[in-house]
Amino acid sequence: METKDSNGTVLGDGDSVILIQSLKVKGSSLTLKRGTVVKKIRLTDDHGEVEGKADGQQMVLKTMYLKKM
């Protein structure tokens, strides 16, 4: 099964994505704003999640909130 963004576009390792919705980060007071760019994502074993660095922190993001650039 392929990992896809909110529009159904296939994502791959090293792609850049944009957040389509502001998200609160669990366990932190940090909020990622809509339009934040996450570069060089890495795919995970879960097809609904990717890893990436946003605002200097490594985190796992749900693909339903991402759009490929």
Mean pLDDT, residues 47-66: 93
Model confidence over 14-50: pLDDT tens digits? Answer: 999 999 999 998 888 889 999 999 999 999 999 999 9
Instruction: Give the chain's domains with CATH numbers.
Output: 17-68 (2.30.30.40)
**Beta-carbon contacts of residue 61 (< 8 Å; ≥ 6 apart):** 17, 19, 23, 38, 41, 49, 50, 51, 52, 54
The rounded distance, in Å, linking the Cα atoms of 56 and 3 is 24
Let me know if 15 is exposed, middle or buried by CB neighbors in 10 A (0-12, 13-18, 19+).
buried
User: Is the distance from CB of 7 to CB of 21 less than 8 angstroms?
Assistant: no
